[in-house]
Structure 1
């Protein structure tokens, strides 16, 4: 069992529910909040710790974020009920995502602003994955109006979905399917979607320009609803198809590791959405990419998740780099810590007089949050970018999401960022790379195909910091929350993580690990705990894997 302190609790009012109007002490709901279906919703940054008497009613921002979360997660009826025209909204949202083959949108809310007519406007960025083609990105905004009963609702109109959607114009998806390229692993062995189902959505995205835009092609057009005449092209996907005479696209994948990864997910994901990446530490070459379910959205490379306590690897690095703490320093681990809202440890666990090493191995949230004042507001993001490459543009050979660590908008969000919550976003590719960087000292851009461009600029971690990180990762296996890996051969280091998603969903479970020359990261949506859900998957992979790719 993963009975560690990755989970935190806070009290947030139910979005959209009736509440008394506040004349004073109105808190500002500001800053972007990422709402990603791959994470099943969002950590609600909610009301900050500083009360103010100006700004939009926080309830309006909460309703906007709840609408986007429901839409992103496919809860269309719920999203529609948050609008002024539920029936129309439900019909349009269903036809928009279904008609354009959009699977698992990522919706990012911006800062709410008051309008002169009494409405509140919340801008948002939409990243719409079009199945088998790519991601369509655009911006729109949500107008919200307070109803007679005091509840804020999205003032429904077609432009809520997209600013160019109207009563006279709609969108049309056009496909030009090309034959997927043949793919070979690092030993020249042919990889097929039949034998390796998780690779199916990846096949069309490998090779060519190094950005994964080959094979299938298509476009989204804005057309006249009556005549069908094309008014403009909103997005295009793909380039020229791969020529058959070029032969299989060579990849860094390893058939043995890929098989072990897919079997681990099939046997231990328990039907939940999950993803896994394994890569070589010394050069960043990806050995396995696996998703459950196998088809559709590639969570492993493009997912946007709060990494939870696996992010404490980066937080620890930031603290150790500036000598803000040492492994043997006493950093108390109380049950609760309030920073604008109450944070807590799993099962209200506590470790009085714990060292920082103990806080890491037991994943104590309150201890890490208590050290937030030892880092500048933007320092965690700076360390993530400078040393770990997170947030820089990666050229892996297929479409990826490369992470985000925004500067916290208030003390509550800064506290959450220390434990991989708030607006910190990552995926298994990023966290496998973070683990590889931590134990080797140097970021190496992950790659799936040869010849990818590397435009990242990073700085090596000091040798002393690397040694401290390796020791704490190992101690987490031998006597901490990753004890489920302790019986494996070799010197395994690991970190568990549990990331809160929303009040009505179970936590996501995380586990990262390294052994020999391989780093692994796994996430299980609504897995409750990292050790309990991702732990058996990683253990199965490391048990069956064909060596450590020295």
Structure 2
């Protein structure tokens, strides 16, 4: 077993050079926030009577409670000078707090105070719970307590002791972080074919997330003797189920589909792009590719406005409510003003269009004109209830599972109807949306069989599924997805063009379903879906003409 280690305690030098904090990435799950409840006063002190220090604590000097909370807040916020200044030993406290946090690779701790109490010698004791996120491993949780003493000037300070940082920290014992070397996991596809970063370069970001034989990164925090370095105990272990096993991770990926996805990424013309292909009947991921190959796994962790591919969900909401049918006439003008001007791609217009025509030509103004047919939260409710979007998915690798917030105003509601505003998704989500529209039933996407499933959804009515299939097929035969029309099979699809920001080219999207496979692709700054994502998915589907076994 190979270990990387770091230590902390008074006198600890700079953090080891191997230690790296993960980069801040778009689309990661929400970061851990400090939860100490604070009420700011001038000079950084905090008011009493809030959180764990309620009115029944009034017999205690409120300044003691305020000082405890301020100390915890400064520590949690990496304001070590400020925290140390609130103690009876500022120089030592600053050194220990800083080395404890950096030496153990802790970032953004959560420190939650409990109710204060007096001790027998006139001091005050404030218990607290510490949740310490250790970068790349997990959260170390423990309890400790702050002793506070009144000073000669009448103020209160934290009575500095090593044990307040952690009860086992002392003059003779300190902590050491050990990380196991899990940089080269063995991963296979569904049939046992080895998957490596050399053979499948765009899988590199995915393979790194399988480190540790399927158990994820592994490590431990040890209590060690300060002089000898001997281990006296283990405070925390990190590593999921299966940690320590050399057994390969068997994924749901299909080597043939993955190879085709690798080749298809070249059609993105060097732009950032990603795609996902999965089975319609059970959500198993067949291929997952990113371009460039290095970097984060944008296919499952990216956060993008899905643009007009989201009209699959919007159409479902309207059809479920009986607000439209395929044959309902919904005019498609060039422009529509709802707080701001919305328009169609290339300012196209289709007077007297049916809803089917609006879908196949991706008419923004028609969809926006129907916003009054849906309640404020209704689009998000449909996305969650029928498509699983916004619920917590357990895919087998870290994922962003989508967001459809309730619109703040009519302008934002108009934008959400066409997959803009604050609606967020990625290729994994949109491949799943496509599969659900085709089958009527949501299946949580997975890349490792046996993943936990906590989602709860309802099937779409058959009449809705029939109309969605018909409109998606028409989008290929007579609409904006004609780039796929020459391929064999009853392919259904939806294009998307998503605005990013003023002055930047739009992102291009395309989702499609053929047989038992649903695919989704986004090309950043691709301008249009058919023109950028279209060639990528055309290449993919051409290379693998049949369904997976």
- The within-5 A match list for 1:223-372 is 238-239=239-240, 242-245=243-246, 247-265=247-265, 267-372=266-371
| 1:106 aligns with one of 2, 26, 32 | 26
Structure 2, gaps ≥5 residues long: 1-17, 36-72, 82-93, 106-134, 136-178, 222-235
- Residue 337 and residue 255 in structure 1: after superposition, are their counterparts in 2 closer, same or farther (change >3 A)? same
Question: 1:104 deviation in Å?
Answer: 4.8
Kept in 2, the 8 Å contact 1:180–1:215? The answer is: no
Cα deviation code 1:401-450 (max 9, x no counterpart): 11110111111100000000011010000000000000100001111111
- Equivalent residue of 2:535, what SS? helix
Alignment correspondent of 1:440? 439
Alpha-carbon distance in 2 for matches of 1:536, 1:505: 21
Cα offsets for 1:273-302 (capped at 9, x unmatched): 111000000011000010001122000011
User: What is the CA distance between 1:188 and its match in structure 2?
Assistant: 1.2
TM-score in terms of structure 2 length: 0.67
- 1:113-512 paired onto structure 2 within 5 Å: 136-138=31-33, 163-164=77-78, 169=98, 171=102, 173=105, 176-206=180-210, 214-215=216-217, 238-239=239-240, 242-245=243-246, 247-265=247-265, 267-512=266-511
1:186–1:253 CA contact under 8 A, matched in 2: yes
Alignment deviations for residues 506-538 of structure 1 (CA, whole Å, 9 cap, x no partner): 111100000010000000111111111100000
Query: Residue 106 and residue 204 in structure 1: after superposition, are their counterparts in 2 closer, same or farther (change >3 A)?
Result: closer
Distance 1:177 1:505 in 2: 42
SS for the counterpart of 2:209 is coil
Residues 185 and 212 in structure 2, CA contact (< 8 A), matched pair in contact too: no
Say if 2:212 and 2:218, in contact at 8 Å, map to a contact too.
no
**In the TM superposition, what whole-angstrom CA distance separates every residue of 1:91-135 from its partner, at most 9, and x where no partner exists?**
xxxxxxx9845435338xxxxxxxxxxxxxxxxxxx58xxxxxx8
Q: Where does residue 541 of structure 1 map in the other structure?
A: 540
> How far, CA to CA, are the matches of 1:317 and 1:241 in structure 2?
41
The separation in 2 between residues aligned to 1:298 and 1:244, in whole angstroms, is 25
Q: CA deviation at 1:205?
A: 2.5
1:50-105 residue CA offsets vs partner (Å, 9 max, x unmatched)? xxxxxxxxxxxxxxxxxxxxxxxxxxxxxxxxxxxxxxxxxxxxxxxx98454353
Hey, what's the Cα distance between the residues in 1 that align with 2:322 and 2:252? Answer: 38
Q: Secondary structure at the match of 1:423?
A: coil
Q: Which has the larger Rg?
A: 2
Q: Mapping of 1:2-41 within 5 angstroms?
A: none
**Quick check: 1:206–1:449 contact (8 Å CA) kept in 2?**
no
Shift in Å, 1:271 = 1.2
1:484 and 1:165, CA in 2 relative to 1: closer, same or farther beyond 3 A? farther
8 Å contact kept, 1:190–1:248: no
Give the Cα separation in 2 of the matches to 1:351 and 1:217: 61
Q: How far apart, in 1, do the equivalents of 2:332 and 2:388 lie?
A: 30
CA RMSD of aligned residues (A): 2.9
| Higher RCO (CA < 8 A, seq sep 6+) | 1
Change (3 A) 1:350 1:445: same
Output the CA distance in 2 between the equivalents of 1:254 and 1:335: 44
Contact 1:280 1:519 in 2 (8 A): yes
Q: What displacement does 1:218 show? A: 8.9
| Alpha-carbon distance change, 217 to 410 in structure 1, aligned in 2, over 3 angstroms | farther
